[in-house]
Amino acid sequence: MSKKTAEIRDLAIKRHDIDASFFQQTYNDIILAKKAYPFKIGRSLVMEDIEECLNNLPAGARILDLGSGTGHLTKWMAEKGFLAEGVEPSSNMIKNARTNFPDLRFTEGISSSLPVADSTFDFVISFEVFRYLDKDENQKSFEEVLRVLKPGGVFFFTQVNKYATDFYYPFYYLKKMIYGFTKTVYHYCFFTTPAEQEKMMLRAGYSQVKTIGRMASTIRIAYKFGKRFGDFYTKLIKMGYGNQKFIHSPLKAMSGHLVVIGKK
């Protein structure tokens, strides 16, 4: 592994150690239906795709929530009757998860070297995790997840679209430059495309790969002008694009969340 890849991997853990209480608060806000509007909209759209995958699993299937953070998603899946557990490298995040949900198992570990035996899980999910790792670490992790999946098992994860119409790509580099001046710990972001993800997953050895774009990313810009404008704009978008699920449309590569689903 290159020094740069290892540095980015360590930064992802350090950043989430710092942000653990922010995430804890954000998930509580989501539960209490407060604030974090575009985050909430995007998340609920991706949750529809997760739910669709879960519906195809047998009752009691084993699920790994990889990069489980505060554990809220792990709990949501466990409540549906699955044997869900988490793997998480940030000690502050895992502390929150264990306090939030003492009935669930959260193990320390990273995506490219899982503390798990071969062919253990029916479903592995990583929501908003691989975006913090570079391409090499992503590739290595895809192979590692394949190892722990049962034959026919499914890997579901999200990425950040390079060409999302919220213009996060140029904005990220500007923000990173400013953070560089102030010497604050900023996060790394891996920007990618549906075509690149499909290629990487096939290279890792998955037999089938599907990518989906979710949420018109301009919604994120709209909420910068306040909740009322954001809500109004979101209504317009819903009229034009319904459930904002882009599979064959070019809007897939420009949407707010890129969902990748691979089958072993």
Ligand X SMILES: C[S@@+](CC[C@H](N)C(=O)[O-])C[C@H]1O[C@@H](n2cnc3c(N)ncnc32)[C@H](O)[C@@H]1O
> Is 101 near ligand X (CB under 6 A)?
no
Applying CB under 6 A, the span of 99-107, 122-130, 205-213, 233-241 interacting with ligand X comes to 122-130
Least gap, CB of 23 to ligand X (angstroms): 6
Cβ proximity to ligand X, 90 vs 255, nearer residue? 90
Q: How far is the CB of 236 from ligand X (least distance, A)?
A: 28
Query: Which span (125-133, 164-172, 217-225, 232-240) binds ligand X, by CB under 6 A?
Result: 125-133
Give min distance, CB of 74 to ligand X, in A: 8
110 binds ligand X per the rule CB under 6 A: yes
Please say whether the beta carbons of 60 and 80 come within 8 A: no
Of the pair 251, 257, the CB lying nearest ligand X is at 257
Residue 187, C-beta contacts closer than 8 angstroms, at least 6 positions apart:
11, 12, 15, 132
The CA–CA distances, whole Å, from 146 to 65, 121, 124, 181, 203 equal 14, 10, 9, 40, 11
Among the listed residues 63, 78, 124, 129, the single contact to ligand X using CB under 6 A: 129
Residue closer to ligand X, measured from CB, 7 or 231: 7
| Spatial CB neighbours of 22, under 8 Å, sequence gap ≥ 6 | none
CB nearer to ligand X: pick between 109 and 213: 109
Torsion of CA 249, 210, 112, 143, to 10 degrees: -140
User: Cα angle vertex 127, ends 255, 54, to 5°?
Assistant: 100
12 binds ligand X per the rule CB under 6 A: yes
Question: Which of 62, 80, 158 minimizes the C-alpha distance to 116?
Answer: 62
* CB nearer to ligand X: pick between 42 and 251: 42
Counting residues that bind ligand X (by CB under 6 A) gives 21
133 in contact with ligand X (CB under 6 A): yes
Nearest by Cα to 257 from 175, 164, 173: 164
Smaller CB separation from ligand X, 89 or 262: 89
Site for ligand X in 64-93 (CB under 6 A): 66-69, 72-73, 88-90, 93
Q: Is-contact 113 144, C-beta < 8 A?
A: yes
Contact yes or no for 138/103 (Cβ under 8 A)? no
CB 259 within 8 A of CB 212: yes
- CB of 73 or CB of 104, closer to ligand X: 73
Least Å from the CB of residue 87 to ligand X: 6
| Structure-token pair, residue 28 | 């509580």
Residues in the site for ligand X, rule: CB under 6 A? 9, 12-13, 16, 66-69, 72-73, 88-90, 93, 110-111, 127-129, 132-133
